[in-house]
């Protein structure tokens, strides 16, 4: 077990303030939002403050109830203005990338500055891009969290369209896994919100702007914003959370020849970290995650890597990921990524590009 004191995975207070703003547009005063979420005013207004996973759950519950019960009173437009107010370094970088595709990839790469609890995977190919949101929560809260991420991604797209002087908004399709009231979904041109029970949380878009040079791109300011964000992420990475240690152990166990079967990974991981399975589960719950969730996340990421190797058959990939059969892998992949044709649909051509992915 690591002797370094573990750091709890956190969420930026700036995200909480964005949620409070959205709640205000629904008629819930900021003071009431803070009180229901269990936040003090001084903490709420501290620019660099961050919340641990358990406290963020209370915030998310308050926001979830507001989104479902209170329709928007004041319209909102897709944009990055609010993000610039609350998380200026990230907002500045996303507004100033060499292309829309680079900006979308930067969002996936640096979204830990917003929060470390959830994850996102994405890729672009030609004029299309697709992003999958992998939440640490379940139920309606997962779709509410996905909704917030998809709104920010839409804001990025609309920002670069405005820069390029595009007259017609690119079509964007967002799929949520739980049915939300229509009033909870913004009515934006070109954006289709679909709620399908149990569906993978994903956003798809098609636009020729993905690779087009962005007008007014400033390389010096871009590098400055990027350096500041790297320092922020370096601070977050300085002391690993338990979930990060579990990720490392899973990667090491999977790489060992003759390592434990999938059903033995929990016990093996707990032993390596010097604790019981029950203690490991309890500490992960305190970080608003679970061993099974981390295992599924690892398998999903590893699957994307293996699928890029044309020398591996689907059966070989299934076996490397610890599935009893190819059909089991296919069902898992469809559930994670919502690809109707199965994992073979993700065997991208060599020219395809996949943006990075980082926990958030």
- pLDDT, one tens digit per residue, over 84-108 is 999 999 999 999 999 999 999 999 9
Q: Average of pLDDT values for 249-259?
A: 78
Band (7; pLDDT cuts 50, 70, 90): low
Quick check: 260 pLDDT over 70?
no
8 A C-beta contact, residue 130 and residue 123:
yes
Quote the tokens at residue 334. 């469809």
Q: Cα 245 to chain center, whole Å?
A: 19
Q: Average of pLDDT values for 286-311?
A: 81
Q: Average of pLDDT values for 190-204?
A: 89
pLDDT at 250: 86
pLDDT at 263: 76
Q: Average of pLDDT values for 256-274?
A: 81
The span from the CA of 303 to the CA of 286, in Å, is 28
pLDDT tens digits, one per residue of 266-278:
999 998 888 888 9
pLDDT at 357: 39
Quote the tokens at residue 201. 């949380």
Give the CA angle between residues 167, 168, 173 to the nearest 5°: 150
The residue among 352 and 109 whose pLDDT is bigger is 109
27-36, 47-56, 207-216: the lowest-pLDDT one:
47-56
pLDDT at 235: 77
Band (259; pLDDT cuts 50, 70, 90): low
> Among candidates 158, 203, 210, which has minimal Cα distance to 176?
203
| CB neighbours of residue 261 within 10 Å | 9
Q: Which residues neighbour 328 within 8 Å (Cβ) at sequence distance 6 or greater?
A: 318
Quote the tokens at residue 89. 């370094």
The span from the CA of 176 to the CA of 199, in Å, is 7
Q: How many Cα atoms are found within 13 Å in the side-chain-facing hemisphere of 214?
A: 26
DSSP 8-state assignment for residue 182? G
133: which strand partners? Answer: 120, 201
pLDDT at 198: 76
pLDDT tens digits, one per residue of 119-131:
888 877 778 899 9
The span from the CA of 355 to the CA of 360, in Å, is 15
pLDDT tens digits, one per residue of 168-189:
899 999 999 888 888 888 899 9
For 193-204, b/e burial (b = at least 16 CB within 10 A) is: bebeeeebbbbb
For the chain, the average pLDDT equals 84
pTM score of the predicted model: 0.69
DSSP 142-165: HHHHHHHHHHHHHHHHHHHHHHHT
Quick check: 353 pLDDT over 70?
no
Length of the chain: 360
pLDDT at 356: 41
Map residue 217 onto helix, strand or coil: coil
The span from the CA of 83 to the CA of 15, in Å, is 8
10 Å CB burial of residue 158 (0-12, 13-18, 19+) is buried
- The residue with tokens 């903490």 is 43
The span from the CA of 270 to the CA of 279, in Å, is 8
Map residue 86 onto helix, strand or coil: helix
pLDDT at 347: 66
pLDDT at 181: 85
Percent of the chain with pLDDT over 90: 36
Strand ranges inside 219-348, DSSP E: none
pLDDT at 13: 94
The pair phi, psi for residue 204, each rounded to 5°, is -125, 145
Domains of the chain and any CATH numbers? 10-69 (no CATH), 81-236 (no CATH), 238-346 (1.10.10.60)
Cα–Cα distances in Å, from 217 out to 85, 169, 221?
A: 21, 21, 9
């Amino acid at each position: 077990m690591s002797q370094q004191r573990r750091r709890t995975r956190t969420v930026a207070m700036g995200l909480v303030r964005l949620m409070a703003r959205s709640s205000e547009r629904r008629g819930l005063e900021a003071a009431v939002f803070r009180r229901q979420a269990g936040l003090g005013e001084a903490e709420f207004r501290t620019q660099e403050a961050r919340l641990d996973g358990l406290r963020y759950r209370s915030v998310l519950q308050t926001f979830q109830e507001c989104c479902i019960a209170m329709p928007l009173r004041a319209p909102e437009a897709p944009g990055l203005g609010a993000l610039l107010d609350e998380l200026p370094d990230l907002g500045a970088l996303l507004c100033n990338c060499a292309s829309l595709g680079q900006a979308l990839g930067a969002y996936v790469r640096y979204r830990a500055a917003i929060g470390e609890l959830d994850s996102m995977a994405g890729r672009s190919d030609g004029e299309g891009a697709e992003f999958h949101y992998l939440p640490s929560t379940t139920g309606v809260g997962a779709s509410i969290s996905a909704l917030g991420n998809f709104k920010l991604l839409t804001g990025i797209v609309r920002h670069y369209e405005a820069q390029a002087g595009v007259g017609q908004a690119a079509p964007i399709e967002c799929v949520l896994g739980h049915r939300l009231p229509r009033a909870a979904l913004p009515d934006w041109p070109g954006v289709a919100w679909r709620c399908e029970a149990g569906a993978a949380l994903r956003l798809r878009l098609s636009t020729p702007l993905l690779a087009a040079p962005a007008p007014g791109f400033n390389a010096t300011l871009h590098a400055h914003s990027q350096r500041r964000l790297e320092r922020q992420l370096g601070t977050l990475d300085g002391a690993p959370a338990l979930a990060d240690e579990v990720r490392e152990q899973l990667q090491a166990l999977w790489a060992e020849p003759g390592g434990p079967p999938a059903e033995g990974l929990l016990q093996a991981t707990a032993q390596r970290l010097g604790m019981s399975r029950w203690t490991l589960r309890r500490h992960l719950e305190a970080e608003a995650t679970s061993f099974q969730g981390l295992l599924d996340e690892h398998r999903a990421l590893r699957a994307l890597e293996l699928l890029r190797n044309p020398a591996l058959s689907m059966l070989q990939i299934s076996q490397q990921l610890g599935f009893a059969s190819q059909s089991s892998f296919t069902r898992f992949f469809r559930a994670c990524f919502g690809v109707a044709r199965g994992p073979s649909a993700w065997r991208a051509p060599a020219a395809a590009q996949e943006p990075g992915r980082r926990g958030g």
